[in-house]
Structure 1
């Protein structure tokens, strides 16, 4: 899970923070709690993509095919839909769940939005626990079957872990043990968020807070 403030280095725009964590690590559940507790608007990139699929658009059909294969949607498509969602909401504090998923996502997001994360909250969860959670959640999602789930784990290991390592090299990772109960995980997250509230950022460099989880 990623937590932080959106940084603006090139123009007056909000700062952001990406969030890591494999499929089933509890990102969506914790985002809802964070949004309620700390006043953020929660945007799930996965949900944004599924809404585009439901719209019946040509882009939606392309996204559906890619997601069925357990692959990642092209960065330019994801960032464009994410930007549209953010622009349609009267808020300057966002929790963005499920993005960035790879280094290409990071570059596309930072290049197009002129934002960089303050820090990244990483929900570290054992794969067997994530698999159990995904198979038991029964949300009727096409990608919640064992074959696709394992493809998603493979993509996470190959594409998303290098992104986490990239942010770790910049000192931005805040790791939380997500194998514990929902309440225990949230208690750990609250400590990190409470510390973040105390960080004073000069208005010339930041316009507003944002989280990308």
Structure 2
């Protein structure tokens, strides 16, 4: 039986049209930094398609495909889904879309993700939006929105902060060294944050 990577390769490579030139913007920030809200605004104002790696994995599992079953089994066994699998799902979503401008939210989560994305797709992001927010503010927001979400308790929140700092900050530093990172003060009110975001997209 093939691996999950083989299954995705077969599925993706067998169904993609010819390569198209796409524009990608990575959107990074800790849990509660307001990424999702700002992605919605960017989609509305600038015509991007919003892709979430987590959503694509969940959709693949829900689809009941062989590939989805393998992903689900890996998650159940506590294994990390290989970067290449997530990248192939993102690649397929971009190829199947009529759009050529994409916001990729919450990915790459670490340096391995970043390298896999560039190696598999051949795409380097136009730029990276980093929603920078203090841990205290993110904690306040996450606890404030707690509507029965199991991942919004204080211990889990702090673990997620630590994972973000350890894994994602090296990605930000990589792109910062290439002058591709726009740091946004995400502690401000939503409207003020979006003013900053708008200026970046209008001048990029």
Q: TM-score range by the shorter chain?
A: 0.7 to 0.9
Checking the alignment, whether the CA contact within 8 Å between 2:25 and 2:102 is kept in structure 1 is no
Checking the alignment, whether the CA contact within 8 Å between 1:48 and 1:82 is kept in structure 2 is yes
- Report which structure shows greater RCO (CA 8 Å, sep ≥6): 1
Checking the alignment, whether the CA contact within 8 Å between 1:124 and 1:179 is kept in structure 2 is yes
| Shift, 1:80, TM fit | 2.0
Match of 1:97 in 2: 105
Alpha-carbon distance in 1 for matches of 2:54, 2:22: 22
Check if 1:79 corresponds to 2:87.
yes
Checking the alignment, whether the CA contact within 8 Å between 1:41 and 1:94 is kept in structure 2 is yes
Larger of the two Rg values belongs to structure: 2
Matched positions, count: 182
Match of 1:3 in 2: none
Checking the alignment, whether the CA contact within 8 Å between 1:20 and 1:120 is kept in structure 2 is yes
Checking the alignment, whether the CA contact within 8 Å between 2:71 and 2:81 is kept in structure 1 is no
Q: Which runs of 5+ in 2 are unaligned?
A: 1-18
Match of 1:39 in 2: 47
Checking the alignment, whether the CA contact within 8 Å between 1:53 and 1:61 is kept in structure 2 is no
Q: Which runs of 5+ in 1 are unaligned?
A: 1-10, 197-213
Checking the alignment, whether the CA contact within 8 Å between 1:110 and 1:116 is kept in structure 2 is yes
Distance 1:53 1:129, change over 3 A: farther
| Shift, 1:112, TM fit | 0.4
Q: Using structure 1 for the length normalisation, give the TM-score.
A: 0.76
- Which one has the bigger helix percentage? 2
Check if 1:20 corresponds to 2:22.
no
Q: Which of 163, 170, 194 is matched with 2:178 structurally? A: 170
Worse-matched range after superposition: 27-36 or 115-124: 115-124
Alpha-carbon distance in 1 for matches of 2:154, 2:89: 28
Kindly report the root-mean-square deviation, in angstroms, between the aligned alpha carbons of the 2 structures.
Answer: 2.2
Q: Using structure 2 for the length normalisation, give the TM-score.
A: 0.79
| Shift, 1:64, TM fit | 5.7
